[in-house]
Amino acid sequence: MSADLRVWVIIVMITVMVVIMRNVFLFAPRSWQPRGLLQQALRYAPLAALAALVTPQMLAGVRAQQGALGPELLADPRLASALVLIAVIRLSGNAFAGIAAGTGIFLLFSR
């Protein structure tokens, strides 16, 4: 098997597994549905994944500006957008509004 074909087979296999794992609760019998603490934890899984993707980039911006405190540090679009995102989610309780506000600040500051 060639290397290119092997890569495509792996991509297809991962895609199938992701689709199956994401939809298992939709087609599973009612008795298999998550309840209690697991159900509450699954509500926050997408935000946790987003935080896991964004946090290293945000911290890289903070490390790059280690000597700078004040306006220079807040001028980093990654850190500023993360702070706005956290504040909006905390104040409004709406994750979509927080993501929209954080994205808007990032786009505004990165120009």
pLDDT in tens, 60-81: 766 666 655 556 655 678 888 8
Q: What is the phi/psi pair of residue 16, to 5°?
A: -60, -45
**Alpha-carbon distances of 110 from 8, 47, 80, rounded to whole Å:** 36, 23, 10
CA distance linking residue 70 with residue 40, whole number of Å:
38
Domain ranges of the chain: 1-33, 36-111
Contacts of range 11-16, beta carbons closer than 8 Å, 24 or more positions apart = none
Write the pLDDT tens digit of every residue in 21-72.
888 877 878 787 778 888 888 777 777 887 788 788 777 766 666 655 556 6
